[in-house]
């Protein structure tokens, strides 16, 4: 069964432009779909869902108005704590959170702490995340820990990644029509299946999620032993 689904949520901007909607509207539509898809994944017995919401490059290059809209949505996560408790959802976050506003960092830490004992689906949001940045930060952690390079192997190295306590991804989905990984979780995705769809993130629905599951179930997975 598909246990860990990772999604590159792409196409929000193009979806909004096609409908002549302002920036905040398409971010809100994307956030609303996060709630819907998380509930569907839980119903379909998917145990982990990881969503890439903001890359390191986005933080540096996107217009200030857009980043402010994203930060506002990040801060609104706290209002979902009660819903997370009802649905037994465990919240997690990866990425260089230190680059977000201090208030956002506190909110994310609070939500993670409040839901840490829940045993249902684990929802991980990747914020200010980039694979190259993750590798650099992991290397710094290894150096700070004084690890002997001679004892370092793939399993030990992964412990220092943001994703060290998450299962490997079964399927990585990219919405929006582009066929590239953009450096999303490359260390963990050696044996992941990739699923690309033209549907933009606000359009990604139950039918498309079912297509992803059927695609995964029909895949032949070969692993190195």
Looking at residue 58, its pLDDT comes to: 83
How high is the pLDDT of residue 224? 43
DSSP classification of residue 89: P
Q: What is the pLDDT along the chain (225 residues), one digit of tens a residue?
A: 899 999 999 987 777 777 777 766 777 888 999 999 999 999 999 999 999 999 988 888 888 888 888 899 999 999 999 999 999 999 999 999 999 999 999 999 999 999 999 999 999 999 999 988 999 999 999 999 999 999 999 999 999 999 999 999 999 999 999 998 888 888 898 889 999 999 999 999 999 999 999 999 998 766 543
Helix (H) or strand (E) holding 126: strand 122-129
User: What structural domains and CATH numbers belong to the chain?
Assistant: 4-130+170-217 (3.40.1180.10)
Alpha carbons 33 and 105: distance in angstroms, whole number: 23
Angle at 181 between CA 199 and CA 94, to 5 degrees: 100
The model's pTM: 0.92
Burial 29-66 (b: 16+ CB within 10 A, else e): bbbebbeebbebbbebebbbbbbbbbbbebbeebeeeb
Query: Helices marked H in 76-184 — which ranges?
Result: 81-86, 102-115, 131-144, 154-158
Find the helix or strand (DSSP H, E) in which 171 lies.
strand 171-174
Cβ–Cβ under 8 Å, residues 10 and 203: no
Active site residues: 10, 58
């Amino acid at each position: 069964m598909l246990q860990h689904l990772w999604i590159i949520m792409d196409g929000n901007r193009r979806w909004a432009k096609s409908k002549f909607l302002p920036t905040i509207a398409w971010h809100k539509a994307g956030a609303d779909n996060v709630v819907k898809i998380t509930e569907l994944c839980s119903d379909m017995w998917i145990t982990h869902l990881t969503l890439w919401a903001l890359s390191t490059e986005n933080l540096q290059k996107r217009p200030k108005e857009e980043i402010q809209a994203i930060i506002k949505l990040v801060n609104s996560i706290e209002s979902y704590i009660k819903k997370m408790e009802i649905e037994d959802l465990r919240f997690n976050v990866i990425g260089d959170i230190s680059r977000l506003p201090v208030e956002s960092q506190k909110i994310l830490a609070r939500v993670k702490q409040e839901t840490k004992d829940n045993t249902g689906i684990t929802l991980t949001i990747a914020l200010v995340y980039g694979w190259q940045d993750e590798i650099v930060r992991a290397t710094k952690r290894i150096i700070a820990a004084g690890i002997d390079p001679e004892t370092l192997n793939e399993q030990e190295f992964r412990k220092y990644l943001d994703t060290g306590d998450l299962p490997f991804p079964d399927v990585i989905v990219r919405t929006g029509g582009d066929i590239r990984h953009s450096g999303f979780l490359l260390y963990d995705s050696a044996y992941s299946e990739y699923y690309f769809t033209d549907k933009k993130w606000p359009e990604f629905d139950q039918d498309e999620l079912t297509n992803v599951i059927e695609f995964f179930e029909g895949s032949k997975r070969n692993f190195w032993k």
